[in-house]
């Protein structure tokens, strides 16, 4: 069984930082591209970042470019999202997900709440 488990969410003031982690199990983590996707309260899904299997290439949505950084540790089966200069519109549930002909494995999500 393939699992992804996110952690690191919480409440933070506008301008603050958080680091999300995602632990993978049940599959060869280092073989897969991984993405971070978020969902604002009552809204749809928004892709925000992906990282290649080796970690050498990353890409970001315009909404988080320059503020968020994705990274991974394949030896420890971990994916990270460093979030700086957080804003109110960053509030939502953050999911890590595996890419395979789509986005096939999702974590349960971790909630980020940014207040002013």
Residue 103 within binding range of another protein, rule CB under 8 A: yes
Residue 61 in the binding site for another protein (CB under 8 A): yes
> Looking at 10-18, 20-28, 43-51, 67-75, which segment touches another protein (CB under 8 A)?
43-51
Is-contact 84 106, C-beta < 8 A? no
Rule CB under 8 A: is residue 44 a binding residue for another protein? yes
**Smallest distance, another protein to C-beta of residue 82, A:** 19
Residue 32 touching another protein (CB under 8 A):
no
Stretch that binds another protein, among 11-19, 20-28, 74-82, 104-112 (CB under 8 A): 104-112
What burial class does residue 13 get, using C-beta atoms within 10 Å of its C-beta: 0-12 exposed, 13-18 middle, 19+ buried? Answer: exposed
Write down how long the chain is. 116
Residues 6+ apart with CB under 8 A from 87: 14, 114
Q: Determine the straight-line distance between the first and last CA of the chain, rounded to whole angstroms.
A: 40
Tokens encoding 70: 């994705």
Residue 50 found at the interface with another protein (CB under 8 A) = yes
Point out which residues bind another protein (CB under 8 A): 35, 37, 44-47, 50, 59, 61-63, 95, 100-109
């Amino acid at each position: 069984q393939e699992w992804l488990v996110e952690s690191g969410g919480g409440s933070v003031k506008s301008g603050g930082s958080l680091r999300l982690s995602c632990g993978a199990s049940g599959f060869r983590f280092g073989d897969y591209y991984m993405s971070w996707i978020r969902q604002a309260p009552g809204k749809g899904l928004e892709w925000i970042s992906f990282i290649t299997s080796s970690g050498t290439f990353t890409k970001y949505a315009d909404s988080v470019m320059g503020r968020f950084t994705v990274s991974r540790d394949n030896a420890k089966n971990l994916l990270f999202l460093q979030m700086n200069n957080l804003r109110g519109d960053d509030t939502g549930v953050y999911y890590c997900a595996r890419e395979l002909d789509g986005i096939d494995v999702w974590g349960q999500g971790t909630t980020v709440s940014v207040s002013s």
